[in-house]
Structure 1
Amino acid sequence: MAYEPTPAELAHLKRCLELAAEALEAADEPFGSVLVSASGEVLAEDRNRTAGGDQTRHPEFELARWAANNMAPEDRAVATVFTSGEHCPMCSAAHGWVGLGRIVYVASSAQLVEWRTALGVERGPVNAIPVQEVAPGVQVDGPVPALEAEIRELHRRAAS
């Protein structure tokens, strides 16, 4: 179900798209994420860093690791991860195990699979499934239609 972000949330999601574009320019897949406190402060951000061969270097996983090392459990529980694409199962599990709060994403896993399949991108070794099938207690909002064209274009560029 489509999600209409607040102006502040939209700004965080646009930053995720900037990070995804940075990842693409660095020969990584276009994904970017931002961790935001309950008060709206940006705590950490990252982009995909898998080009070096470590396919676990997803930004959502890195933010979960950062949160575990730098935030109290009660602060993690009320933080939000904004991201360009819905978490993969690995990142969903990390998010759940670390006890992070809400996720807001631009494009869903289903959308990403559909787009990448249409572009002829080979499926990965792990099924793309919704966050809540891996971490059922996490509140998830997305996709965000207003930003869909931009992230879809980044994935088109990555496939060419």
Structure 2
Amino acid sequence: MDATDLTHLRRCVDLAREALDDGDEPFGSLIVSAAGDVLFEDRNRVAGGDQTRHPEFEIARWAAANMSPEERVDAVVYTSGEHCPMCSAAHAWVGLGRIVYATSSAQLTQWRAEWGLESGPVAALPIQAVAPGIEVDGPADELADEVKQLQQRLVARRSS
């Protein structure tokens, strides 16, 4: 992971903050072309009731509609939190390239346990357990505390 990766991950954390401030869960993602251009970015949008509205899934849909297979394989997806199994599968089926994440599913699972929360309805599998051919980098220790604080704000909001 290099300085460019961290810059993109910081934008993902900003998108996660935007999602939380808008009443949603704090996750944000973007896709970057082989030339280094940000092509598409999104944030979580599950607050409306559709639990599939993850930004990583939206990126896979966007990439399938707007990029050639060759462009997709050379692209990099950045995300504030490691892909869930649904998003990992979508990423692999669309043929996207490398994934870089700020925090891992294992970290989120640990935090949720610390806060006395139940695990979610889907197993928190690492990306490569679902999509073993994808290059993955993460977590970025520099961003873990900030992402954890966003997740804590979500928990506090739900408990009040």
Q: What is the TM-score with the length of structure 2 in the denominator?
A: 0.96
Report what 1:66 is aligned to: 62
Q: Which residue of 1 aligns with 2:78?
A: 82
Instruction: Give the Å deviation of 1:129.
Output: 0.3
SS at match of 1:113: helix
Partner residue in 2 for 1:115 = 111
Query: Which residue pairs with 1:21 in the alignment?
Result: 17
Q: How many residues align structurally?
A: 156
Q: Tell me, in whole angstroms, the C-alpha distance in 1 between the residues paired with 2:18 and 2:118.
A: 23
* Matching residue of 1:135: 131
Kindly state the Cα deviation for residue 99 of structure 1 after the two structures are TM-superposed. Answer: 0.1
Alpha-carbon offset, residue 122 of structure 1? 2.8
**What CA distance in whole angstroms lies between the structure 2 residues aligned with 1:86 and 1:72?**
25
Q: Is residue 2:150 matched to residue 1:150?
A: no
**In the alignment, what sits opposite 1:104?**
100
CA deviations on 1:6-41 (whole Å, 9 max, x unpaired) are 121111000000000001011111000010001110
Moved over 2 A (4+): none
Of the three residues 70, 92, 102, the one matched with 2:88 is: 92
Q: Give 3-state SS (helix, strand or coil) of 1:105's partner.
A: strand
Distance in 2, matches of 1:20 and 1:134, equals: 24
CA offset at residue 124 of structure 1? 1.3
Cα distance in 2 for residues equivalent to 1:151 and 1:13:
11
Structure 2 Cα separation of the partners of residues 121 and 151 of structure 1: 17
> How many Å apart are 1:123 and its aligned residue?
1.8
Which residue of 2 is the match for residue 52 of structure 1?
A: 48
Higher fraction of helix? 2
Structure 1 spans left out of the alignment, 5+ residues: none
| Other structure's SS at 1:51 match | helix
Identity rate of aligned residues, in percent?
A: 64
Q: Partners of 1:48 and 1:117 in 2: how far apart? A: 22
Corresponding residue SS for 1:82: strand
| Alignment partner, residue 4 of structure 2 | 8
Shift of 1:127: 0.5
Query: Normalising by structure 1, what TM-score?
Result: 0.96
